[in-house]
Amino acid sequence: MAGRLFDARFRSFLATMAAVTLLLLSPPMMYRLFFHSALVAHWLLLWAVYLFLEALDGRSHWREWVLNLSLSIVTHPYLFAMNFMMGFWCTVHAVCDHRAHPLNRWSLVHAALPCLCSLAAGFVFGVFSSIGKAPAIGLGVWSANLNAFFNPMDWSVFLKGLDYLKGQYAGFAYPGLGVLLAGFMALILVAARWRAHEFQAAGRKLIFLALVVLSLMAFAVGPKVAFGSRELFSYELPHGLMEMWSIFRATGRFVWPVCYLLVFISLLQYWRGLDVLSRGRQSRNVLAMWLLVLIQVADLSWAARIRRWQHSLPRQYTPTLVDSAWERLGDRYKHLIALPLDYSRYDELALIAVRNGMTLNYGYVSREHPDYVAKAEEDIRKLCQGVPDAQTAYVIKTEDLLARIQTANPQLNATCADGFWLVAP
């Protein structure tokens, strides 16, 4: 996908390879290789960026949009939402450009098909099967900071990490020092060869490019706008819109396609500027492109070395729930209920439940379902009333809850096991 972005515009294999290398060495892409792998399919984002840029040049690829959006929605809803935004502006651009591409019933069908087919694919794969009662909380926490494109966090050898608010690591969009230098040089080269009529001719393209960037950035920054460690302002939309927005509460992720668009534009304008200055002598231009690659590699070398060391460490799981009280629970009980409902040592309790063939009353999820929370409160009330379920073993995680239960029901016995209290009627 990165090759498709650059190949037709650089007209040089070596320059294309340098640009592809810079894009693949983009820290947001590398970061996702080591964290939250469900969102690692950034090739879908690059594909959508390519289709959007092709649409700006008047080339419609509606069949590829059908495939892209359908694959995106069954891979991860966040990827679908990002690509859908770009597809939406492609459709608007086609409508506004109807003089060059006259509207007819087939063009309207082509515009609607990607959306309809992707929604159908999502329905078939169960994307819409949730009853949707989980509260959508956290909007404005995992957002993008306004310094996202210049904040390397801990990824740069040469640049110091900047401040950001808690949770805004989700909006990590540092493109690397090589790309930043390309963007800076591109601005100088574009300013040096400014031609008003050229920008007027490309006016519609620039407008729609700006619309895509601004809409994605507005979504990424979220309702709490911050620069560095300072929150500049916040705003509220009508409750229904905020609830819908909260479905994608980690809004900072929407900065990724903006990052890739800016990387592409920076490298393309840098290459074109070099081409004008060198009067077609591509050998020097290619060397200049590969110099950026060397700078990018050097800039990211420490972060890459750290992550390679982290993933080379031997991995060995050592369980800490080793008390004999956990053994053979499955012989007497069908269910394991942990109270209160939190994620402390979830993996170990899940392993105990699996080994004993028991059910567990919770899982590691991003949003707690209110029905599960209500069920946990009901279980606590039953314990306090002295009517525990005979087929259930209860794991009490806090002394406060244990004291509350034993105060209401002094006859209830609890066995201390590895920092928990096991109540087995």
| Domains: count for the chain | 2
pLDDT recorded at residue 101:
54
Considering the entire predicted model, what is its pTM? 0.84
pLDDT recorded at residue 352:
92
Distance CA 178, CA 267 (A): 10
Q: By residue range, what is the domain housing residue 328? A: 324-423
Within a domain: 319: no
> Is the same domain home to 335 and 271?
no
> DSSP states of 96-165 as a string?
HTTTTS---HHHHHHHHHHHHHHHHHHHHTTTT-S---S----TTTS---TTGGG--TT--SSSPPPP--
> Is the same domain home to 211 and 298?
yes
Per-residue pLDDT of the chain (425 residues; tens, 9 = 90+): 788 888 878 888 999 999 999 999 999 998 888 777 788 999 999 999 999 999 888 888 888 999 999 999 989 999 999 999 999 988 888 777 755 555 555 566 666 777 778 888 887 777 776 655 555 677 899 999 999 999 999 899 999 999 999 999 999 999 999 999 999 999 998 887 776 656 666 777 889 999 999 999 999 999 999 999 999 999 999 988 888 888 898 999 999 999 999 999 999 999 988 888 877 678 889 999 999 999 999 999 998 888 888 888 888 888 888 888 888 888 889 999 999 888 878 889 999 999 999 999 988 777 777 788 889 999 988 888 888 888 999 999 998 888 888 888 777 778 898 989 998 87
- Amino acid identity at 425: P
> Is the same domain home to 292 and 379?
no
> Is the same domain home to 196 and 132?
yes
Within a domain: 416: yes
> Is the same domain home to 299 and 328?
no
> Is the same domain home to 6 and 123?
yes
Within a domain: 317: no
Torsion sign across C-alpha atoms 12, 17, 20, 21: negative
Of 312, 335, 353, at which residue does a domain stop?
312
Within a domain: 128: yes
> Is the same domain home to 305 and 336?
no
3-class SS at 58?
coil
> Is the same domain home to 281 and 366?
no
> Is the same domain home to 243 and 342?
no
> Is the same domain home to 34 and 167?
yes
> Is the same domain home to 166 and 257?
yes
> Is the same domain home to 197 and 331?
no
Of 279, 312, 345, at which residue does a domain stop?
312
